[in-house]
Amino acid sequence: MKRGIVVRNAALLIFLLFISSIVHIQMGEVSVSFTDVWNALFHVDSSNPTHIVFRELRLPRTSIALLAGAGLSIAGLLMQTFFNNPLAGPSILGISAGSSLFVALSMMTGFTFFFSAFGAISAAVIGAFVYSFLLLVFSRFVRTNVSLLILGIMLGSFTNALIQVLESMSDPTALKAFTIWGFGSLQQVSFDQLPAVVCCFIVAVGLLLFLIKPLNTYVLGEERAAQLGISVGRVKMLLILCVAIFTGLITAYCGPIAFIGLAVPNMVKMKLKTSNHWYLVCFSALFGAWILLMCDILLMLIEPIIALPLNSITSLFGAPVVIWILVKNRLHVTN
């Protein structure tokens, strides 16, 4: 890819992301000026309602939209490269369901450790890691990508059945809390929790930096990558850990968000037409953050008319993309 085209596309995405972030922060009845933003961050007045609205509602919601969109898109890209399957993604292969199961255990059981915020986050990350590791184990015995995809879907279905069993046994208060969490929302992060979320995200990005070069080789196949000196086992473990942190962190705070991790990386690959993961990761992160931000803006625009969960908006965006991928692959096979 020509560097000039990459720079122009990246600059356009960053500009769109900047404008959309400003629009997203301004959504609502209370208008927030630049002076209000500055004072709310560095000279907060607890008696000023504008400061409270910005710190406790607007800034966390916009920030988690950016982080969740970027994190899920990166996780989806990593899984698609690892499994060599354009339909691989945290929601399709059951990783989000694994996080949901462990969060369900944290919210609907009597284990006191899970009642803390740290416990819920840990549960989500552990669930994502366990299910990512299960997929890694299954991939050694399953010969085709289609079989692995079906296996991941069945694993997710089995997990959802377990969650329903937990729901039938839980008390009404816990069931209501888990049901609302399952709709997906960007409003569950407070200003005080934001630094911890950002730190976890940075840790995952740090792990990702060790994966870029091996992934560029991994597209040639696992055997070829090993011949070129890539430690395949180490790459697999780093990739699983990275996907688990991204998926678990976002699922813990936002609930299971569908289709972003599946649709965005495919759209980026179709646009860039490159296997260079430096480009793919950066553009997937930027585009994913922008898409989720726009989905939430749309959600807030129609909120006075009808209240919809975030997952309904992301599904309306992502499902047609998945259908297009299936049709496109089918046409390629036929031709």
Cβ–Cβ under 8 Å, residues 287 and 13: yes
Show the CA angle centred on residue 102, arms to residues 169 and 291, nearest 5°: 115
pLDDT of residue 118: 56
Q: Kind and range of the H or E element at 120? A: helix 117-139
**Could you tell me the pLDDT band of residue 335, with boundaries at 50, 70 and 90?**
very low
Per-residue b or e along 194-217, where b marks 16 or more CB atoms closer than 10 Å to that residue's CB: beebeebbeebbebbeebeebbbb
CA 302 – CA 95 distance, rounded (Å): 30
Least confident window among 178-182, 256-260, 263-267, 290-294: 178-182
pLDDT of residue 329: 62
Q: Is the per-residue pLDDT at 285 higher than 90?
A: yes
**pLDDT per residue over 18-30, tens digit each?**
999 999 998 877 7
Mean pLDDT of the chain: 83
Q: Is the per-residue pLDDT at 332 higher than 70?
A: no
Task: Give which of 163, 161, 158, 151 is closest to 87, Cα–Cα.
Answer: 151
Q: Looking at domain 3-334, which of 1.10.287.70, 3.40.50.720, 1.10.10.410, 1.10.3470.10 is its CATH number?
A: 1.10.3470.10
Amino acid in position 323:
I
CA 285 – CA 162 distance, rounded (Å): 32
Task: Give which of 263, 285, 317, 301 is closest to 66, Cα–Cα.
Answer: 285
Per-residue b or e along 115-146, where b marks 16 or more CB atoms closer than 10 Å to that residue's CB: eeeebbbbbbbbbbbbbbbbbeeebeebeeee
Helix axes 117-139, 95-108, angle to 10 degrees: 150
pTM flag (> 0.75): yes
Domains in the chain: boundaries = 3-334
pLDDT of residue 112: 47
CA 173 – CA 213 distance, rounded (Å): 48
